[in-house]
Each structure stands twice: as C-alpha cells, then as structure tokens.
A = this chain, B = another copy of it.
Amino acid sequence: MDGVKVIEIKKSIFADNNEDADKLRAELKEHGTYLLNLMSSPGSGKTTTLIRTLNLLKDKLNIAVMEADIDSDVDAIKIKDATGIESIQLHTGGMCHLDAEMTRQGLDNVQLQGKDLVILENVGNLVCPAEFDTGAVRNAMILSVPEGYDKPLKYPLMFSVCDLVIVNKIDVMPYFDFDLDKCTEYVHMRNPKAQIIPICAKTGEGVDKVAEWLLDEVKNWKNK
C-alpha cells in the first residue's frame, strides 16, 4: 500500500466562517474547481460510494479527494489504491467538523490548476459538520438503510443543508424496516429541493445516477 499525504489540521482563527466560506468559493471558481462536501454517519459507506463514483468520473473530470478523519489514514489510502486519484488525508485532531478555513488548509495541499472537482469527505457525524459552511458549491450526504428512515426527523439541520441525499445499502432493505417513501417525505420536509438517489455501493447499483448528478453539477457551475 502506497502512502498518502497526511495534513494535520489546525483550529480556525477566522471569526466569520460564512464570509470565509464565500471567499473560498470565489477563489475556487477562479480556478474552475467545483468543491463537493460529502457528509454522513460513521459506517454509512462514504468511502465505498466515493470509489465507485470516482471510477465512473475519472476519465471525464480531473479530480482530487480530501478525506477528513479524526485519526486514521485508511480512507485516503483506500481511495488512492482503488481509483488512482490524488487523495490526501486530513487529520482533525479530535475536532468533529471542518469549517472553511480548515478546508482551505487541506486545499493548500491540492494542485488546483486544471482540477475540475475536489470532493471533501467530512468527519463521520450527522450533527456538527452540518453547522459549518466549508466553502463547497454543494453539500451531499449519505443515509444508509440500517440507520433508519426517520433520521431526517432527528437530524433536521443536516438534511436541510444537503442538496443530494444518497440512500445507500438498499440491498439490505428487506432485513430492515426501511420505508423509502416515508424517508423521501421526511427529507423533503427539511429541504423540498433535495434529490434522493437510492444506491448499493457494494454492487454499484444506482451509482451511475450519482455520477451523472455530479457531472451535471460541475458542468453547470463552470458555465455559470
């Protein structure tokens, strides 16, 4: 296994994160780089979903990945090994989220020239990451079937700030009492415009829809 670059993220000093996030978004626009902030609970399948999606997109877009984690390096190594895509690991040193300044610390280690897309895999947590604008163009999240379809009721902010909700592990739906219609209803209570894409990252089912969504997003944003 090849090593990956590991960045120890420091606490932010900026007082106004929203302002800083807008600034970062504008800088990324100048580079033509679209930033996606991907969030979820621990164990929802973020890394597997990402690997599948990246393999569908890597011939169409120039991509880099930043994997935020409290401690380990396993995710960035997995991504690099499975896709060949530039992946760096961000260590938050116990911090439960990333804000715009922390995201910038990661981006300082990415070659942005010519990069169409950077995906930030945020810390596994449905609470804190939702509170901080990272400077991304869009937020997406993964809800896995075993977590239950009632999660939009319990984590309202997370579902309010996400434009895409990927429902993962649909292969085990028969073993869990997961009601996709109810889930859709609850997601739309929080954000009526949110798109919902059911997938099985393990088999790849539905991942083409995620790749299409992302490709459209990047193209539309470049032409804006």
A interface with B by C-beta (< 8 Å): 41-43, 69-72, 74, 94, 96, 123-128, 131, 144-148, 150-151, 153-157, 169, 171-172, 175-176
Contacts and interface: CB of A to CB of B under 8 A. Distances in A.
A147 B45 CA distance: 8
Contact of A94 (B96, B144, B157, B171): B157
Contacts of A94: 127, 131, 157
A70 B160 CA distance: 14
Nearest to A130: B94
30 contacts: A41-B42, A41-B43, A41-B147, A42-B147, A42-B148, A42-B154, A42-B155, A43-B144, A43-B151, A71-B153, A71-B154, A71-B156, A72-B154, A74-B153, A94-B157, A96-B96, A96-B128, A123-B127, A124-B126, A124-B127, A125-B126, A125-B127, A125-B128, A128-B128, A144-B146, A146-B146, A172-B172, A172-B175, A172-B176, A175-B175
Contacts of A156: 70-71
Contacts of A123: 127
Contact of A127 (B128, B144, B148, B155): B128
Contacts of A131: 94
A151 B154 CA distance: 22
Nearest to A69: B154
Given A146-B144, A156-B71, A172-B146, A42 B96 contact: no
A221 B161 CA distance: 45
Given A41-B42, A42-B155, 14 more contacts: A41-B43, A42-B147, A43-B146, A71-B154, A71-B156, A94-B127, A123-B127, A124-B126, A125-B125, A125-B127, A146-B146, A171-B175, A172-B176, A175-B175
B127 A70 contact: yes
Contacts of A72: 153-154
Contacts of A144: 43, 146
